[in-house]
Structure 1
């Protein structure tokens, strides 16, 4: 079958700063998919559409008939890092890695149409937080994962060049919060393996256990950094609510308490990550997303 990249993936890669390696990967993607299918002796069912924004996802069956997912990831999205994290978790809290090679990951298949986001909000937050707790483990010895300081350092450089006058005060506050957070040490859990891009839609229903995480962009650092992305989940609903600001602040408090995280550190990282995402949305012309994210940032 033809393995043409879904338009959602093409658009997302087009929004990012393009490089020769990404262009070459996108051009060769059908060939790379065929090679991976042959190498793992897979039977293809279909390409997942609309699929992800950073990978090609193909629903397959192994030679034993086991349902699985073949995921092809461009070099810029660090497939080796995702492979190492999934292997280290070993199916505890995350989908199980079945095999990997040359930027292609063969992963346990979950119910991609059923995420914890389908649950009522209180229940979804509880299940998502429980999944996240299982992922927070010590990284393997001699690991090569990116650190929170390294990742946010690159992001901070991009944020500092933001030319939007309305966003500048929030950018300044976010950068100051990052400096303060990195200048102090959390009381515990300061060097954990984190999911990196955790949110409700990344927690899918499984058969081994009810809920498992997918799609990590792993990083090593404090738990509050990971939890900060969950704080703004369903941001469009928060913005639409007359009491959205109060709900957001209560969410910070409750999530911090439920996962034994310092609420002020969680608030600081929630601010930084919301502003970083808002500025990035501005940069690629997603003005509505940017407006939501920056309004949320002003609340926390």
Structure 2
């Protein structure tokens, strides 16, 4: 039942706690199938932190998602419940103690697989606008992370002197102070990249895997642009292509372009220090990591 790649990555990331959870996972799935009246209906898939089990019940197809217990996953069902299917998959059932949900089934094809950058940006912008509803009480505020962001950037300056021009880091700190500490009270996805937007049947595109924060939708726009930089890396003029997609996204989302750009700058500086300290999911070391660090350095300087 448990994909080998997922088991390996979970143990590598979580150690003994991950191994213990994996040993319990088959029984968790069995219990939830019985509880929610479901039968298996396909091969088990997985993301980074959870398994996706295709199931069928009397009302039709669905998926059972069970995630490794992690603070970042706590508010995912709350976000789905607030949206009620508006631009995101429907939540049918939830078991918060087991970090499990029964969700609307969507197709495995992602927005990132489209070849047209304008369409990717426009679809994402339209979806962002629909997801930006008044933030429910009780969800974490992005603004509460501002002090931590500022400390992270200052620690990066100390740990990696000369990695980025001082003016570039100072501009990122200004984003924290000017945009980060007081944000709109709107529900945002929190991990809004093209792989988390999947083809649906009820609607053409639906969001999955939200973090469920309350804050600035422009922050989600910046999150979208980071993987687009890697997709466009072979472009004749990378920043020209990215700025164009930013424009398309901002217009579709009805967001201030400059606000999205400033968040993109902050996230690039943040990623430049994070990559040096921890590597990235795509690479923990070696030449490819160096290439990725070079890319985020370029973004940090160019977005400034």
Judge same fold: TM > 0.5, yes or no: yes
Cα displacement (A) at 1:153: 4.0
Unpaired runs of 5+ residues, structure 1, are none
Alignment correspondent of 1:56: 51
Answering whether residue 210 of structure 2 is matched by residue 202 of structure 1, we say no
Q: 1:177 aligns with which of 170, 175, 178?
A: 175
Is 1:83 equivalent to 2:77 in the alignment? yes
Q: What's 2:261 paired with?
A: 267
Which whole-Å CA distance do the structure 1 matches of 2:27 and 2:148 have between them? 33
How far apart, in 1, do the equivalents of 2:217 and 2:72 lie? Answer: 21
| 2:243 matched residue in structure 1 | 249
Q: Call closer, same or farther: CA 1:13–1:191 in 2, change over 3 Å.
A: farther
**Do residues 292 (structure 1) and 295 (structure 2) align?**
yes
Question: Which residue in 2 is equivalent to 1:25?
Answer: 21
Displacement of 1:110 in angstroms is 0.3
Q: What is the Cα-based RMSD across aligned positions, in Å?
A: 2.7
Aligned partners of 1:89, 1:118: CA distance in 2, in Å?
A: 25
Deviates more, 1:167-176 or 1:103-112: 167-176
Going from structure 1 to structure 2, the CA distance change for 1:158 and 1:260 (only over 3 Å counts) comes to: same
Matched residue pairs, number?
A: 288
Mapped contact 1:194–1:220 kept (Cα < 8 A): yes
The answer to whether 1:11 aligns with 2:9 is yes
Alignment partner of 1:139 is 2:135: yes
Contact 1:196–1:216 (CA under 8 A) maintained in structure 2 = yes
Does the 8 Å CA contact 1:9/1:54 hold for their aligned counterparts? no
Q: Give 1:282's match in structure 2, choosing from 260, 272, 276.
A: 276
Where in structure 2 are there 5+ consecutive unaligned residues? 284-288
In 2, Cα distance between equivalents of 1:130 and 1:228: 15
Q: Is the contact made by 1:21 and 1:75 (CA closer than 8 Å) also made in structure 2?
A: no
Distance 1:280 1:252, change over 3 A: same
CA distance in 2, matches of 1:284, 1:154: 17
**Contact 2:228–2:242 (CA under 8 A) maintained in structure 1:** no
Answering whether residue 39 of structure 2 is matched by residue 43 of structure 1, we say yes
State the TM-score, normalizing by the size of structure 1. Answer: 0.84
Moved over 6 A (4+): none
Within the alignment, does 1:108 sit opposite 2:104 as a pair? yes
Q: Secondary structure at the match of 1:100?
A: strand
Deviation at 1:35, TM superposition (A): 2.2
In structure 2, relative to structure 1, the CA distance for the partners of 1:114 and 1:270 (3 Å cut) is: closer
Q: What is the TM-score of this pair, normalised by structure 2?
A: 0.83
SS in 2 for 1:224: helix
